[in-house]
Structure 1
Amino acid sequence: MGLTILVIGSGGREHVIAQKFIKSPLVQEVYCAKGNPGMIRDGIQLVDIAEDNHKELIAFAEQNKVDWTFVGPEVPLLNGIVDDFKKAGLKIFGPEKAAAMIEGSKDFAKELMNKYHIPTAMHRTFHELEPAKEYVRMKGAPIVIKADGLAAGKGVVVAESVEEAISALEDMLEGNRFGASGAKVVVEDFLAGEEFSLLAFVRDQEIYPMTIAQDHKRAYENDEGPNTGGMGAYSPVPQIPQELVDEAIAKVLRPAAEGLIKEGCPFTGILYAGLIATEEGAKVIEFNARFGDPETQVVLQRLETDLAGIIDDLLNERIPAIQWKQDGFSLGVVVAANGYPEEYISGSVLPAFSSDCEQRVYYAGVSEKDGKLLSSGGRIYLVEAEGNTLEEAQQNVYQLLDSVDTTGTFYRKDIGAKAMKSAKL
């Protein structure tokens, strides 16, 4: 009998994770709570239980003899789902609530970085508007304003002027734009450089780094428009040298994992460092306590080892052997609803992609009616393809997107373009 696995979450990240699991020779069944209708065609079984209903999820795992559970999104981690499953005697992969605070509070993460000498931007935390405004006027622009808590990837404002920064502070501290998440803000220096995402499988002090990726946060081409949850990604990142990645593993990931142990909240799960390559080396923009979306959809295509086997090893105190592809590239483009990340329209009929095309489609904000998939969220689906070169991977994705009806939706036409441009310089 193979493994029975439960995945918590409903987006494109969970789609690719569940798909990787179901393709494993070690696995018999994969459930996803709640999942989305786009996952069904891959043989993933949907479970109609909300991710914040820990009691019912635990009961489901017990009744269906789930071997272990994998947590995709950050919200259940910060709601203590790992703590609750462990108390019930169930195996689950992800950090406990106290360790997940590395993502749940920007202030907590900054204090950890300060204490354990992890390179990051100069920063100050504020609860009140007037001192924050005074600090911004003193520092000048560009400057970065961050809501302390979770804000679905939208609680960061890179202000080009002092006026814009003050407006963002008023929005968060006075206008309550992000509720409790914005009741405290972190104001930090703007760092110039190339951004990249470094993720790792972590078990306490053991760190197993992944291939790096680059996300595209802005809604529109040329990195214009508002910040989103991510409009596309590619992996690896040719313009970031391996020496810089090795330095980030040594100076960021290791001290973060060891620091959390010293703070009494050891981390097991996926540790994600959002980094920027500055003239002084790699510095941390943010930490996440789980896989990124859309980075997961491209990074996991680079993984040659069985993902289910890696997680099973980590949960059962074995040392995993992990291999990554050394050649080629993976690139993914997010298709979003018109209006995203602000108010958007749902109900657009989505194209029916052929199951035998070389591109892969991972669904996120979708519903189903009369056998057709409809848009129901801001980010609807991601198309991913591989290529021997980044350009080839990009062409493979856009070739498919250009051939289908994308009415009611939009996508960036330049994912990966900046990397190709810098490679040709």
Structure 2
Amino acid sequence: MDLQESVEALWRIEAPQLIATLARRIGDLDVAEDLTAEAFAAAIEQWSVDGIPPRPGAWLMSTARHKAIDRARREETARTKAPLLAAGRPEELPDIADQALNPIPDDLLTMLFTTCHPMLSPDARVALTLRLFGGLTTDAIARAYLVPSPIIGQRITRAKRTLAKARVPIERPSAEDLPHRFETVLEVLYAIFNEGYSASSGDRLVRTDLAIEAMRMGRILAGLVPTEPEVLGLVALMELQASRFRTRTDSQGLPVQLQDQDRRRWDRTLIDHALRMLDRALELSRPLGPYAIQAAIAACHARAATFADTDWATILALYDALLQITGSPVVELNRAVAVLYLDGPQAALDAVEPLRGDPRLARYHLLGAVRGDLLVRLDRHIEAAAELEHAAALAPTRQERQLLLTRMAACLDETASETNT
């Protein structure tokens, strides 16, 4: 690995911590990111002569701090800011190798609360979190979300400007605000994961890079707050869902339904780790929060040796509990699938019917996909074909659209066969 590659790898590892520490002391995310970039630029120049030092993180922190002091002096604010920056020691920032022995500093958690601040739009939270907490470049975020890099850059710039204009303090929320702010952080991480798990656009159903990044950030968060059950529940949920990545699509990239997946190819390492995280969450919390409940549902699938072995009664009870917390029509739709395997397709269809008039699901393709499947099971093929065609028109990816149209064609073939007999 050459110097450039080494520095790029170090950026992912060290930059979030540098930015977090500097931002907390300076009170400005934009300046903190600039100083970090300047420190890395200095590293390339210096290390090309002297080689990479034994503790690159400490070297970078010391360099960034000196640059911050110089900048503060130039701006004639040394009297208030330079003493704060000079107070720390270069050893304050551990290298990645030391983090197995030392807890991750609270500055990272403070920055995560800042990048996920509720005053920002959801898109801005995601972009800013991936940039500053995840350490991704603007180009990498743009590639992951299939949008032009300048758009991502604008989102990040506007987000930082919004926080600066509102004078949002870079500090941990108060005890009173903490539960709501945690909820926002978890929403951002799960939104990033879901975009990787089931893409909202483009030609790929699964984008493992985004899902892996969300899991990595979730594990960092779990290390920062190891007694927060919903954080553990979210990590468990993401890992259980990610364990099925190898079987979610076929050789053509088309979706493979859960009952048709080869469970021997599921990632048992991820499953085992997720189940341990879920057990810890269960030990910490009664009643469970929504992420832990969803993880418990995913665990029922992961523990079943075959699809026929699935504990649908427990899954239905868990969906009932989740529905009480969220009131979500998507949860109600998923609950109907559990009803299908317990009480049959007519009972499931009866459970789905009230959702047809819910405006929140007006453009949700899976409502039509589920209802079409239930109609097929009830031999109502003409209705099923119409439902599947409508669902295909709403499908976010080419693969899902193709699968739904294939199922629609099968319904029409069945109708023609019935007519000819």
Comparing both structures, which one devotes a greater share of its residues to strand?
A: 1
Comparing both structures, which one devotes a greater share of its residues to helix?
A: 2
Higher Cα Rg, which structure = 2
TM-score calculated relative to the size of structure 2: 0.28
TM-score calculated relative to the size of structure 1: 0.28
